[in-house]
Chain A
Amino acid sequence: MKRRTRAAILVAGATALLALGPLPTSEASPCASVLAAASTNHAGLVVQFADGSMRQFCIPFTESSVTGLDLLVRSGLPLRYQDYGGGSVAVCMIGGVGCDYPSKPCFCQCSNPNKSCRFWGYYVWNRSTGAWSYSSNGAGTREVHNGDMDGWRWGEHRSPNPPPASTFAAVCSGSSTITPPPSSKAKPPKTSGAPTSTATPPNTSETRSPTTVASDGARIASSTPAGATVSLPTDRAISAPPDRGGHLPITGIAVVVGFGVGLGLWGARRFREARRVPP
């Protein structure tokens, strides 16, 4: 029994250590590989911040579908979200606007029910009607396919308050607003025929063929009312949320494990001593 106690404590310590186990120091974002491969699908992403400024992205992906959260992550905007497990998430902060979870609650501007309630509203673009509507799924479970578009807007959402009307064609038309993440590790794609310099952002020319987008966009544009295109978005300086973490805290781990294991073994020994005495 006593040996088992000690074993349990050791297991607890080891699990805690495992939890802190080897983490890659570089945050290699998955879009690096996606960009390198021949990306066939595209989805639009429109983010409108508190001051009304907007960012638009045309995100390429090779999978048949990605989640709405993947789309946000691949946009390269700094992000904070709360994970509920099983794929459900609540987005708390995009590009420095919102609530810095976990230091604050994820819906930090909704704490007083009598006052306004501001959060990141999630909208999906309906291809057939060409309008935004509330997403019936969370960002973590919504499936985004080729030609879909997601919208995020910071503000009150008691009644629908989507980003300005837009179309997939407008967002993914190959204009200068198509700015997938400035991914640091992305290598220029090898699939393109023309050799490009490594300094070129990998996303502007090679990763999508303009013809596909154009035809795709034309098809969609035909089904949407004319004049639905959005006014040119104003680029906004993105402020990153406060920096977190850093290097491997060797001293901390040594101190904590030393104290924890020492106290645990002391307790196990005292336990054994106490139980040896007959009642």
Chain B
Amino acid sequence: MTILRASKVETPTFHTKAWLVWVVSSVAVVNTIENPFVLPLVFGSLSAVAGSFARPGPESRSFATLVKIGITFTVIRVVLFVATGHTGVTTLFTSPELHLPRWLGDLRLGGRVTAEVAIQSCLEGLRLAAFLACLGAFLSVTDIYRVLRLLPRFLAEAGLVVTIALAFVPTMFRAAAEVRDAQRLRGHRVRGLRSIVPVAIPVLASGLERSVTLAESMEVRGYGRRLEGSARVEAWARVAALAGAIVIAVGSSFLLFSRAPLWMGASICASGVGALGLAFAALSRVVPRTRMRRERWSGWDWMLAGCAGMTAIGAFAMRGLNPAAATYYPYPAAFWPPFHAGVVMIGVAISAPAFLGAARKGMLARADERHPSMAPKAPDSVGVAR
């Protein structure tokens, strides 16, 4: 009985901005801590988070998909690097060598295969895979449309276009599944490449139909509409934005490449940023758009953002204060990476949302048991606009 009850309460998710903080800090950890000991922890933590907040839709599959893509990249990378790079002193084995001519890149294929090249290429590949896994976990647990709603108002139309483009893939998946089921009901055996035609053609047809419907509905809802008399404001704002961007480019090149004093480049950059900000504010004012169904930022979101921020600060501090423990580079001679408890703490801290979510779910379940009717609505923390 209690099991049935508990399973009724879904794990409540967090505010999209809290998730954004979390994914940025996770990527920061992957980027700053190069100690290989962090990698299994990062993958494990991301799996725990993606699993804890998984929903039945196809979006939740993105974590597994991106991890698989990352592992594939890693394997390809190791093979290519081992075949072409022969630096390092620890020879694993020697294979026949093929020296390509100069016009083919002057590469030496095969030959001495060293442990250093294998280790380094594998670690770099896995670091890339971990980065993809962070992205996959973020896509699995958040609603991408809510993420796009965080854009400033004048970018709302661009955001809408991106939303539609993003919706394309899951919609295709769903349409393909529907068509496959329908064909199966008709007695068609769906298997492998041979059934591509009976599945793909209906999917394409429905996709075209859907896009026409979408365009009509956007037209009806006034896509691209502006306030009366806003054309001049908009034109000036665009000119100001362009000027601001150019000024920023000039200022940063002053900062980077010239011997001019620092304050000069900095002030040029600042004026460019100011112009850009004014232009964006003006552009936002002419877009008549309000937000509906805002998300509520609760104490749990504060806790998640705090955990994520502390994780990132910890990672940066470790990189700065103890670079020997935070980095690992096998060249010129491979060695065992140093083990450091801080690495373990940082790696496990990425799984904070999973533990916070479990705690919150437990509280909700207990409240539900005490007062079944009074239990707060858990799964969707969306409130009405204030």
Contact = CB atoms under 8 A, between A and B. Distances in A.
Q: Interface of chain B, helix or strand or loop or mixed?
A: helix
Contact of B259 (A5, A114, A279): A114
Interface string A1-13: 1001100110111
Interface size class of A (residues with CB under 8 A): 35 or more
Given A23-B335, A81-B331, A244 B324 contact: yes
A252 B37 contact: yes
Interface in A114-142: 114, 140-141
A196 B200 CA distance: 79
A13 to B, nearest CB: 5
A103 B84 CA distance: 26
Contacts of B49: 267
Interface stretch (A40-48, A168-176, A269-277): A269-277
A86 B84 contact: yes
Contact of B51 (A242, A260, A266): A266
Given A12-B43, A101-B329, A275 B54 contact: yes
A242 B40 contact: no
B261 to A, nearest CB: 10
A245 interface: yes
A245 B324 CA distance: 9
Question: Of A257, A274, A277, which is in contact with the most chain B CB atoms at under 10 Å from its CB?
Answer: A274
Interface residues of B, number: 76
Interface string B93-125: 000000000000011100000011101111100
Given A5-B47, A19-B119, A278 B56 contact: yes
Contacts of B90: 23-24, 27-28
28 contacts: A4-B68, A9-B47, A9-B67, A12-B39, A12-B40, A15-B71, A23-B335, A24-B90, A27-B333, A73-B332, A79-B332, A82-B329, A82-B331, A83-B88, A87-B85, A101-B329, A245-B335, A246-B336, A252-B37, A256-B40, A256-B343, A259-B44, A259-B348, A260-B40, A264-B48, A266-B47, A274-B55, A275-B60
Interface of B: 7, 11, 34, 36-37, 39-41, 43-52, 54-57, 60-61, 63-64, 67-68, 71, 74, 80-81, 84-91, 106-108, 115-117, 119-123, 126, 129, 256-257, 259, 323-324, 327-329, 331-339, 343-344, 347-348, 351, 354
